[in-house]
Structure 1
Amino acid sequence: MGGAVREFGVPPLEAVPRAGGLADSVYEVAQCDPRLVQLSRRGPDGETWQPVTAAQFRDEVTGLAKGLLAGGVRFGERVAVMARTRYEWTLFCYALWAVGATVVPVYPTSSPDQVRWILTDAQATAVVVESEDHVMTVGAACDGLPLHAVWELDAGCVAELTALGRDLPDAEVHRHRRVVTPDSVALLAYTSGTTGPHPKGCVITHAHLAVECDTLLACWRDVLAQQGEQPSVLAFLPLSHIYGLMVQVVCLRGGVRLGHQPDLAPAALLPALASFRPTYLFAVPYVFEKLYDGARRTAQEAGRGKLFDRAAAVAVRHAEAEQRRHRGEGLGPGPVLRAMHAAFDRPVYARLRAALGGRVRHASSGGSTLDRELGLFFAGAGIVIHDGYGLTETTAAVTVQPPGRPRFGTVGRPLPGCAVHIAADGEIWVRGDVVFSGYHRDPGATAAVLRDGWFATGDTGRLDEDGFLTITGRKKDIIVTSGGKSLSPQLLEQRLRRHPLISQCLVVGDSRPFVTALITLDAEAAEHWRRERGRGVLAGREAAVDRALHAEIQRAVSMANSAVSRAESIRAFRVLPGEFSTADGLLTPSLKLRRGAIERAYAAEIEELYANS
């Protein structure tokens, strides 16, 4: 590594919790401030938000917990939850924790085979599903499994269970809750799995989540909201993923008002953000990319495209100057740059902030690395994104950019209580109280990644002199061409995704003579591009072979290639007729590419690329 930092750690803020489980916070907050608005639920009209106080939520959790006990759930049993992000997901989660059960999140678009694998491996005794379709999926997958109940949210199972447990004394719930310890298992969180035939169940305890969330609250509370406001967060990431679950627990432990939005497509998400008006945003790079592309497209449709592009360039320059000032390497933006930045605020930056509800000034990004220029743009527009890094095995974030000291292009420094080590082969190892206990019923896989207290992540990276971590790739994703050239595909893929027309990109080339790429288009951006040029709207395969569009993508590929050597450059590409999605199994729940699955699904297209080049 040529003298680079090999290891960096930060002392913990406080010790691991000595007693109690995650559900205790529901009762503690309600006792301290029963009228605090702890959550907001969508009203009957689907647009307004109805407050749920801490006392109301406590009573709902207790009522449902009594119903679960009456319905046969026992201490230590595993209950799966298969639903989109909605209020009842959180309610069931805390009711299950209150009776000492373990939550097994299942992604709502999972196939019957995936559902069967998870429920069998977890030895689940009951399942909470969202809809009748999910009931049928579970039924098809789990014939013969020892499930004693399948509860459907859309069929009113919360009211039914609450009624079932009405005659049970509240003391029965508290008797179970007080037996829960920090070492009790809170989650069997199955990894989204970019590789491998089956996901592995990560054993996450109450202490793992408590330490993770309390550390984040201690370090980031001051940026969760403007001074004097109650912080609020709209949860739209899947609660079946550790990142979404972490957001939920942060809010419930920290008195942060929590709302739920089941669909993160921009057409559904933006109206929800505008009506909920959060003070902080937890998202993945995909969301920030879509927000940027949507803002640029809206400006172009209003005839202000050139204005937006100039404002974006100024925002990046302004944020870069501020970052240098924070590092002691400059005086910050000069008077001309400050004046230009101020001039663009009302026509451009304020419009972007308004689209998010008008109150967001800070955000977090996780799941994969946020593009450096995108982070600089948002910072220049008045929304500082704290990029972070973590896995299911680390209970979400293990590094985050510290408040007031962002270093865009990195994923920040280790959280207090965590350490990062760069192994000889460049692999990132981490340790701390947030690292999981192991894989459920898989001691071999556990031993392969837990080594003397360190967790070997499978990712590669480097540390700078101040302990900021940069992700360079994933060990298993490293491409070695038949000519012996090694490269990480992420750089090219990230650069290509900067183009507003390109939604996703998979770089291919392992054991091949050169590098190629599979590219998908942003449907709205492609339609706008054609409309601007007076061309007819095309769809599917017709769009993929449109010559003018192909030439535009070729220019984007050439720009991306300028960042790498010729041996690493993309020599040929194919524009695919549709995007990769979680529904077809080509994206993980955190929207990362399932590389092996994509290569298998498009094997014929890949072979054609090499045969015709």
Structure 2
Amino acid sequence: MREYSVPVLVDVPLSDNCADIVFERGEQEPGTVVINRKSGESWTPVTAAELRDQVAGVARGLIDAGVEPGDRVALMSRTRYEWTVVDYAIWAAGGVSVPIYETSSPEQVRWILTDSGAKAVIVESEAHERTVREALSGIAGEPSVWCLDNGALAELTAGGADVSEETLKERRLARGGLDLATLIYTSGTTGQPKGCRLTHDNLLFTARNVAWGPLEALFELDGRAALLFLPLAHSLARIIEIVLIETATVLAHTPNMKNVAPDLQEFRPTFLLGVPRVFEKVYNAAEQKASSSGALTGKIFHRAVQVAVAWSRAESAGGAGAGLRLQRAVFDRLVYAKLRAATGGRLSAAVCGGSALGERLSHFFRGAGIEIFEGYGLTETSAPSAVNIPGANKIGTVGKPFPGVTIAVADDGEVLVKGRHVFDGYWNNPEATAEAIDEDGWFHTGDVGSLDADGYLRITGRKKEIIVTAGGKNVAPAPMEDRIRAHPLVSQAMVIGDDRPFVAALVTLDPEALGPWKQANGKAGVSDADLCADPDVLAAVQKAVDEANILVSKPEQVKKFAILPTDLTEESGHLTPSLKVKRNVVARDFAKDIEAIYG
């Protein structure tokens, strides 16, 4: 077994809890702006003192409503300012926050609320409240419910007016690192979600060792600011929220993904968190805009991409030559500067997680002046276990373990993890806990990967997702899918072939890309459904498949593919809230398409 460790950098005292920083900074740096809150079309700065006062007010309201130390309080909302206030208020009151994706169905909400034993629920909208009421129908001891859109914060603050500062302080200081901070239910591609028990120490140890370790350069910038738009119910966005609060990086929230582009230009962040699909869409939109502006503009863009990738690869290999540096300078004025301007003009770095970002796309963004640092982790590891480092970004890997973490690769290729960031088990599920954490303390991730001599981790797939063809060939689908999905027309790709004579793929088209593509290719009158069989579309997808096939040996290559008539989305039930494909559901719902491939 090969393993690699990085020493602890920040030894977090076990007396600390997540809410402390809000109250400490509110006292010591009251005028420091820590959040920019969007109200309508304008942005309002929120100081450390104002955040402390709002968190304290809501926390007193929760105490008055009967929330006791260790009680679970669920939070169902999009990513918005109030999410952060409520999250920290639950901790300040001594409670345990239980995030719920705002897209969750009544059945999913019912499971999380009943399994966690939530005493209270705070929802964003009346629609969410109806979902909660439906989920709890017929259940005794229904929890209290407050609605953000109907003034939940003001109602709670008013209700807690008689709770003293001393009571709140006692409640907050009674919670320490070993106490439970949150229950995050893994979205899961099969079965009921499992509640991951994460302590205050899990979260603070992770946040501080990341913020003052591998990513320190990003959180020491003057004027540092970050825009969060991923769901805060997801562990990755959640730990970044904590990092931003801990480092006094100005935080802004975007509840609606459609507002990300204008919010980027208005807020002008220096740092961004995203998943691969976000960066793929940014690239695809830029490419399509260039192509639709004429043949010359499209040609300039594609040459700019080649130069950016070549420059980045050269930098990784020791440095670009004078000729390549000159070409990059020219295309910086023509192309890259416009791309950066679209993000507000100050963005130079982003962290990407959730799944793999293709190497070519990573090289392009770095060459264009926005370096993307890929990381790796799971909900069970408080999100990150490894991340690439400014100045030592090895594209194609997910970086080294962050300080205080040990990563090993078992003889069968499974990635194992140790550290204070590893959760202390699944809620109400000792059997699953014993299966995940072995007697030596290793957490078994279920992912397959490799460690190089410098300690950089490369993920090659999920252990349970390895495809075994009828000929006995083991195939890791993830790298192939990532490459196919990188094509501008492709939305999702799922490689198949278990117990089949050859490897194939199910592909969906990106609805946002089809309109511009039809205009540019003289097919404005063709319906999206008919495009699934259009020769030009088939040729474009075949090109994407051919590029993916270069990655693997001949027996692992995709021999056939089918374009599905509809996209795979969370709403259709085919993606998890973290945008992972539910393979069993897709295989069930598109069984006829799969049989047609092999028929």
Residue 162 of structure 2 aligns to which amino acid in structure 1?
D
Partner residue in 2 for 1:401 = 388
Tell me the distance in 1 between the aligned counterparts of 2:326 and 2:536.
39
Q: Deviations over 1:271-303 (max 9, x none)?
A: 111111111111111111111111111222223
**Map 1:217-236 → 2, pairs under 5 A:** 217-220=211-214, 222-224=216-218, 227=221, 229-236=222-229
Q: Which structure 1 residue ranges, 5 or more long, are not aligned?
A: 326-331
Equivalent position amino acid for 1:435 in 2:
V
Counterpart position of 1:569: 557
2:157 corresponds to which residue? 162
Q: After alignment, is 478-487 or 530-539 more displaced?
A: 530-539
Partner of 1:254 in structure 2?
Answer: 247
The count of aligned residue pairs is 595
Distance between the aligned counterparts of 1:92 and 1:553, measured in 2?
45
1:41 aligns with 2:37: yes
Counterpart in 2 of 1:437?
424
Contact 2:82/2:148 (8 A) holds in 1: yes
Whether the 8 Å CA contact 2:206–2:382 is kept in 1: the answer is yes
Match of 2:532 in 1: 544
Letter in 2 for 1:240: A
Contact 1:213 1:250 in 2 (8 A): yes
- The corresponding residue for 2:266 is 275
1:93 counterpart (83, 87, 90):
87
> How much does 1:24 deviate?
0.6
Structure 2 Cα separation of the partners of residues 555 and 519 of structure 1: 13
State the Cα deviation string for residues 142-197 of structure 1 (Å, max 9, x = none). 12142331111111111111111122222221110010111110110111212x31
* Correspondence for 2:200: 206
Shift of residue 552 of structure 1? 2.2
Cα separation, 2, equivalents of 1:565 and 1:22: 49
Per-residue displacement from partner, 1:560-597 (whole Å, max 9, x unpaired)?
22333332222222212332122223222221212122
| Paired position in structure 1 for 2:366 | 379
What CA deviation, in whole Å up to 9, does each residue of 1:428-482 have, x standing for no partner? Answer: 0010110000011111110111111110100000011100000011000000011
Asked whether the 8 Å contact 1:540–1:578 carries over to 2, the reply is no
Return the letter of the residue paired with 1:400. Answer: V
Q: From the superposition, tell whether residues 121 and 601 of structure 1 become closer, same or farther in structure 2 (CA, over 3 Å).
A: same
Hey, what's the Cα distance between the residues in 1 that align with 2:546 and 2:244? 44
Distance 1:40-1:537 versus aligned 2 partners, 3 A rule: farther
Q: In structure 2, which of residues 65, 73, 80 is the aligned counterpart of residue 71 of structure 1?
A: 65
Contact 1:362 1:384 in 2 (8 A): yes
Contact kept in structure 1, 2:210 and 2:403, CA below 8 Å: no
Look up the equivalent residue of 2:23 and give its one-letter code. Answer: Y
Give the one of 398, 402, 406 matched to 1:419. Answer: 406
User: 1:323 corresponds to which letter in structure 2?
Assistant: S
Greater mean deviation of Cα atoms: 13-22 or 130-139: 13-22
Structure 1 equivalent of residue 350 of structure 2: 363
Query: Could you tell me whether the CA contact under 8 Å between 2:215 and 2:390 is conserved in 1?
Result: no
In structure 2, what residue type is equivalent to 1:210?
L
Cα offsets for 1:246-280 (capped at 9, x unmatched): 1110111110111101123xx42111111111111
CA contact (8 A) 2:214 2:402 kept: no
Is 297-306 or 455-464 further displaced after alignment?
297-306
Shift of 1:545: 2.7
> After the TM superposition, which residues 411-490 of structure 1 pair with which residues of structure 2 at under 5 Å, given as runs?
411-451=398-438, 452-490=440-478
Structure 2: how far apart are the matches of 1:530 and 1:449?
Answer: 48
Give the Cα separation in 2 of the matches to 1:94 and 1:149.
Answer: 19
Alignment check: 8 A CA contact 1:225 1:279 kept: no
Name the CA distance, whole Å, in 2 between partners of 1:497 and 1:284.
13
Deviation (angstroms), 1:369: 1.5
Give the alignment's TM-score, normalised by structure 2. 0.97
**Length-normalised TM-score, structure 1:** 0.95
Task: Return the letter of the residue paired with 1:336.
Answer: G
RMSD over equivalenced CA pairs, Å? 1.5
CA displacement at 1:20 relative to structure 2: 2.6
Looking at structure 1, the residues matched to 234 and 556 of structure 2 have their Cα atoms a distance apart, in angstroms, of 34
Pair 309,361 (structure 1): closer, same or farther in 2 beyond 3 Å: same
Partner of 1:329: none
Which ranges in structure 2 are unaligned for 5 or more consecutive residues?
Answer: none
Kindly indicate whether the alpha-carbon contact (under 8 Å) linking 1:279 and 1:361 is maintained by their aligned counterparts in 2. Answer: yes
Preserved CA contact (<8 Å) 1:223 1:362: no
Q: Which position in structure 2 is the counterpart of 1:328? A: none
How far off its partner does 1:608 sit? 2.2
Taking the aligned partners of 1:81 and 1:226, their CA distance within structure 2 comes to 31
Q: How far off its partner does 1:490 sit?
A: 1.2
